[in-house]
């Protein structure tokens, strides 16, 4: 009986410590409603020569609707072609258990903004959009790590391999992208 009780407490402690504490960027309630958003996390980084690609994500909830804020940041000394999100854009997340989760882009078209970074003289393109969870997809995201992300842009589809651990060259921080949803989805649930 003692062993069973000890095993129960060890298991409970492990499960509770597996989720990250909620580190909110915004957690407000006012006359328009409730808005929660966890701090931005880096999910993907690729630096090759003068080309840099980053995917940053934030989980948010506005008045009971959870969503993913997706940012694609590209830097290059050469011109960067426009990348857009349309009403048909989607994000597919492949979980380690083989299941595929689909997220739908909000119903508007948005293209990345291009500007010049004065510090390193590189072109920078930033694309940002919100993607919504389909019904009953959050439960699997809370249980299983993601291994692959496919983003359907307006004119192309790109696959991104999601690493278990990522030591960012850009941000000089350590991230665990594959467990992003497992660690932070509980923070934006009602």
Domain ranges of the chain: 24-188
**What's the chain's average pLDDT?**
88
Chain segment 87-133, per-residue pLDDT in tens = 999 999 999 999 999 999 998 899 999 999 888 889 999 999 999 99
What is the Cβ-side half-sphere exposure of residue 56, based on CA atoms within 13 angstroms? 13
What is the C-alpha separation between 153 and 90, in angstroms, rounded?
Answer: 7
Q: Provide, rounded to the nearest whole percent, the portion of the chain with pLDDT above 90.
A: 71
The dihedrals phi and psi of 143, each to the nearest 5 degrees, come to -100, -35
Question: Under a CB-based contact definition with an 8 Å cutoff, are residues 182 and 143 in contact?
Answer: yes
In this prediction the pTM is 0.85
Six-digit token pair at 81?
């072609």
What does the pLDDT read at residue 39? 94
């Amino acid at each position: 009986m003692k062993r069973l009780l000890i095993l129960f407490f060890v298991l409970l402690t492990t499960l509770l410590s597996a989720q990250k504490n909620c580190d909110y960027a915004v957690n407000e309630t006012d006359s328009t409603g409730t808005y929660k958003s966890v701090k931005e996390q880096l999910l993907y980084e690729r630096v090759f020569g003068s080309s840099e690609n980053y995917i940053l994500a934030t989980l948010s909830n506005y008045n009971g609707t959870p969503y993913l804020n997706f940012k694609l940041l590209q830097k290059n000394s050469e011109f960067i072609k426009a990348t857009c999100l349309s009403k048909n854009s989607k994000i597919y997340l492949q979980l380690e258990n083989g299941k595929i989760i689909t997220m739908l882009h909000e119903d508007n078209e948005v293209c990345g903004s291009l500007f010049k970074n004065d510090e390193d003289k590189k072109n920078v393109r930033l694309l940002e959009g919100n993607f919504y969870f389909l019904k009953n997809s959050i439960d699997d995201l809370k249980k299983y790590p993601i291994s692959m992300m496919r983003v359907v842009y307006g004119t192309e589809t790109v696959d991104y391999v999601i690493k278990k651990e990522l030591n960012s060259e850009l941000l000089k921080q350590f991230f665990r992208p594959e467990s992003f949803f497992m660690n932070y989805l509980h923070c934006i649930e009602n």
